[in-house]
Amino acid sequence: MDRSIFAKFDASVICFGLFLTMLLMLRLGNRLRKKMWHAGDTDTLGGVNALLGALFGLWGFMLAFTFSQSGNRFENVRGYIVDEANMLRTTILKADFFPDSIRRAYRTELRSYLEERIAYYEYANNEAEFRKNREALTKTAHALWAMTVVHSKNVPLSSAANGMASSLTNLFDIGIKREVLLSSGIPAPISIMLIILVLAICLVGGFTTPTIKRKEWIVIAVFALLASGILYITMDLARPMAGLIKPDAGQAAIVNLRSFFNE
């Protein structure tokens, strides 16, 4: 899973803290203006306003890029889950090529693999349970592979075993790809830069505002809320299994495979 510093905290907590910090930075910028700016001073804030516009543009560019990457990652994870469900279904069906006793043994292990894979997604937010599930999943995968290796040495079963080996290889490969994708997340430097930029915008915005009255505070609060909300969605999309927005359609494809064991 994502191991960056931001992965230790819920995205809603980070963005709520950002919302409050943005308001504080605006207030700080306005106080600095009142302290450093005197009534008789000539208005030379044109350059500062240009800087504020540049900061807005830079933040918007980085946010758009990050949002696009998070959206693509979310879609890729959902696609990988559906592909994994298809490969797991094929593997379950290939167990039918073996004699009944071997078929039952395969189906027992494959059912365990399926349940562990379902739990894999359900425990994405629970580090301890996630690790236990990961260990159980690895043991089941080793058991399936060991069974296949043994049967591949039996000439009458070698053809069926080779087909099972191919399916298991594809199944394990897609699992590794999905896990790597889930571990990527938003790189910490990009998240930090996005936060620093929006706080800098608030500081400069407060400094260029002569007086912040109630009406101005309403506009400022709306901007801070929208900025925090957009950043929250961006971060949430980058955590497909742990966030609020989840690839439920892909997860349902995995869960529906339980019907193969109801026979």
Q: Is residue 47 domain-resident?
A: no
pLDDT tens digits, 178-190: 777 776 677 778 8
Domain assignment of residue 40, yes or no? no
Is residue 172 in some structural domain?
yes
**Distance from C-alpha of 184 to C-alpha of 177, rounded to nearest angstrom:** 11
Dump pLDDT digits (tens) for 138-180.
899 999 999 999 999 988 899 999 999 999 999 999 888 877 7
User: Residue 30: which of 179, 239, 211 has the closest Cα?
Assistant: 211
Q: Does 42 reside within a domain?
A: no
pTM: 0.74
Residue 155 resides in a domain? yes
Count CB neighbours of 9 within 10 A: 11
Q: Which domain holds residue 107?
A: 5-35+52-261
Residue 44 forms part of a structural domain: no
C-alpha to C-alpha distances, 133 to 118, 122, 152, nearest whole angstrom: 10, 10, 29
When divided into structural domains, the chain yields a total of 1
Which residue from 49, 23, 19, 24 is spatially nearest to 210, judged by alpha carbons? 49
What would the pLDDT profile of 59-113 be if each residue is shown by its tens digit? Answer: 888 888 888 888 888 888 888 888 888 999 999 999 999 999 999 999 999 999 9
| Beta carbons of 184 and 2 less than 8 angstroms apart | yes
Residue 96 domain-assigned (yes or no): yes
Lowest mean pLDDT among 13-22, 39-48, 157-166: 39-48
Instruction: List pLDDT tens digits, range 212-236.
Output: 777 778 888 888 898 888 888 888 8
Coil, strand, or helix at residue 99? coil
Q: Return the number of other C-beta atoms located less than 10 Å from residue 97's C-beta.
A: 15
**Would residue 46 count as lying in a domain?**
no
Residue 111, Cβ neighbours under 10 Å: how many? 16
Cβ density class 189-215: b for 16+ within 10 Å, e for less: ebbeebbebbbbbbbbbbbbbeebeee
Burial of residue 144 (CB within 10 Å: 0-12, 13-18, 19+) is buried
> What is d(CA 188, CA 176) in angstroms, rounded to the nearest whole number?
22
